[in-house]
Structure 1
Amino acid sequence: MSYEYLKPMFGNGPLTFEQLTEKLDAAEGVKLVNLKDGGYVGKEKLDAAEARVSALQQQLTQANGKLEGYDPEWKTKAQQMQQEADQKVEAVRFDYAIRTALTEAKAKNPEKLAKLIDRDGLKMVDGKLVGLDEQLKALKESDGYLFEGDKPAPEIVKPGSPVYRTPAGGGDLDAFYANNPFYKKKT
């Protein structure tokens, strides 16, 4: 690298740092840059990058021209297919959100109950259904049998279920029949 362009600043003698900075600030067409900061790119690198960008731009133009030659409406078809795919994905997410909400609401049959939901009155906002709580509340009031109750199911025991004796002497049976006047303890 040649530094000949700096000779006019120095003249014939040495300079202090302050004198050098003053002369650099006043000089036209001379600018010193620290390359380690990345603020400056060499002309060769810039020219190479510009050549690469123009080559890629030309390839893109050629590819688009070929696609339009095969099918002039390829862009609109691609956009339409993307919209259809997005709509299908959104419908699946919507159905899943409804069924999850119905399961959490303790619906006895979420699939059948989902058919009673007015889908037009619902909106998906940040993955949550807005308007479903009101519909579920109305359905619980009008058709409560579609939902499980909050009380646990009663435990049903067959009448006449035997009380088993313990091998040690029947203490369970004695306690069970303690108030029966016809029962006699076995000794």
Structure 2
Amino acid sequence: MKRKQLEELGLQEEQIKKIMDLNGEDIQNAKDKASASNAEILEENEALKSQMSERDKDLKKLRSQVKDNEDLTKQFNDLKSKYDKDTADLTQKLATNRLNSAIDQSLSKANARNNKAVKGLLNMDEIKLDDDGNLTGLDDQIKSLQKSDGYLFDEGSKQDYQPNNGKPANADPIQAMVDIFKGDK
């Protein structure tokens, strides 16, 4: 929405300022919401990395203590397999978080009204995140949903607004009041 468009509709400067302020607040709220989501993901990412590095330290410490003792070797192998499984699980969780974050950002860019509702209609098996952080298989699905279920996306509303019933606006509001008082109209 641009100030010039509002001026062309014949709105007064005060009305235009109020509309622009409301629009600015909506934009800021959307940015704040996206920033909060990214902060949560980064925080969780750091926690997962910290857990992985601590487990690696445990493995190195235990490896140095294991020499020829069979009992310790068995404990080491058990712990190693457990930590390998945990590492794989954490890596998978991290990848899932990255994928969901990227999908949410793409849906926000596409002006989805409700990301959860749109995600429910997506075929998540076809959506992949490559090494560069780019999504594949999502754009076509979004375009398809915009055609089939356009109500899920905010594409702006079109209004056939015609001030003064389609007649041009009076150029001079003072003259219009004078004409009304004189009874010319």
Q: TM-score, normalised by structure 2?
A: 0.50
Structure number with greater Rg is 1
Considering Cα pairs closer than 8 Å and 6+ residues apart, tell me whether 1 or 2 has the greater RCO. Answer: 2
Q: TM-score, normalised by structure 1?
A: 0.49
